[in-house]
Structure 1
Amino acid sequence: MKLWYSDSSPYARKVRSVMYYHQLQNQIELLQATSGMDKHSPHNQDNPLGRLPALQMENGEWLYNSSLIAEYLDHLGSQPSLYGSGEQRWQILRLHYLADGVLENELSTIPEKRLRPHSEWWLERHQQIFQRTEQSLIAIQQSIDLFGEALNIGTLNAVCAIDFLLFRKDWTYATNHSTMASLKSWVEKMNARYACLNETYPK
């Protein structure tokens, strides 16, 4: 199998963390893309969406979405599933997709902040995203209280999302959020406790 990824992508980190958790790294060739926006980058040749991560399975077919790739790797792995079972499964998935939603909102504004002059920013939209992230982080804090420092696809993805907000704090203004100090303390404990998170810390 082959995995196209970026060190700074929180979506790719989720997938790589699942890979390390299930000790699948010897079965997957890691191919790092230097720029997801470069149309000439090799990852775009067989990847119609041009998004990272993208996994080529052993049969040659591609999986494009990070949540789909993570679940596929969890299916292949021999460790206990990260997705839980019974009623808890829905709590885990709720947290997982809440974290995904935060990333989708924040990443929708970052290219504009990076590439356009401040005078051309859609400031009303940026403020709306900040407020949505504020409310979402409060909900994430409430959700992780159910799990503590247990590792599942929800807590794993929450770590990826929070670390990304802090990694890109110049564009996300992460430290201005009311719950960030508490969440930062939690992710530091998770990163120290689980090798699969420590190995994939954003660069």
Structure 2
Amino acid sequence: MKLFYAKASPFVRKVLVVAHELGLFERIELLSAAAHPINRDANIRAQNPLAQVPTLILDDGTMLADSRVICEYLDHLGQGGFFPAPGPARWTALTAQSTGDGLLDAALLCVYETRVRQETERSPAWVAGQREKIVDALAQIEAAAPAFGERVDIATITYGCGLGYLDLRLPDLGWRERAPAAAEWYARFGARPSMQATRPE
């Protein structure tokens, strides 16, 4: 398998954490990519029309895109059980993943607005709106965190990658002060070998 990736991408990190947890990492060849919202990487685009990371190319040439799809494929391949079987537990896990992904989407939009757009094109109101989404998602994670324990599933992996990305790109948000229970949980979860091995530099 081949994975188009970027070290700083939290969605790529999700995939890599799952791969490490399932013992599949060594089966994946990492292809460095220059994913960009405007200047799209032609190498990724040749495989994925959206030219986004992560993009996974299977051994038979099949292309899988989007961290949610790739993580579920890897979970199936490695028989990990990170995605519950159809039923209430699955819908809960997928909804939690969606909340974590939404936090990441909002954080990325803040980064794009301040790093990619020209200063004259930037909208403080846009950034404020995205940061408000992050704060609301944090509140939901904070409410759920006391029950996480030592769980490792698609919900906790997504949340962990989300909180790590806030450290990387939005440290001024002070998420630990806003979400102390989540911070206590993340101190343990972030120490996992899979999280340490995928820390963006």
Q: Same fold (TM over 0.5)?
A: yes
Structure 2 residues without counterparts, runs of 5 or longer: none
CA contact 1:95–1:143 (8 Å) conserved in 2? no
Match of 1:12 in 2: 12
Post-superposition offset of 1:100: 0.3
Structure with the bigger RCO (C-alpha within 8 Å, sep 6+) is 1
**Residue 179 (1) aligns with residue 198 (2):** no
Partners of 1:40 and 1:155 lie apart in 2 by 30
Post-superposition offset of 1:36: 1.0
Post-superposition offset of 1:32: 1.9
Letter in 2 for 1:187: Y
Supply the RMSD in Å over aligned alpha carbons: 2.0
TM-score normalised by the chain length of structure 2? 0.88
TM-score normalised by the chain length of structure 1? 0.87
Match of 1:198 in 2: 196
Match of 1:112 in 2: 113
**Residues 102-111 or 46-55, more deviating:** 102-111
Percent of aligned positions that are identical: 29
Partners of 1:184 and 1:41 lie apart in 2 by 39
Match of 1:21 in 2: 21
Structure 1 residues without counterparts, runs of 5 or longer: none
Match of 1:160 in 2: 161
Runs of 4+ in 1 over 6 A off after TM superposition: none
Residue by residue, what CA displacement relative to the aligned partner does 1:124-145 show, whole Å, maximum 9, x if unpaired?
1211211221111000111233
Number of equivalent positions:
198
Matches within 5 A, 1:24-43: 24-33=24-33, 35-37=34-36, 38-40=39-41, 42-43=43-44
Partners of 1:183 and 1:202 lie apart in 2 by 20
Residue by residue, what CA displacement relative to the aligned partner does 1:55-78 show, whole Å, maximum 9, x if unpaired?
001210101111000000000004
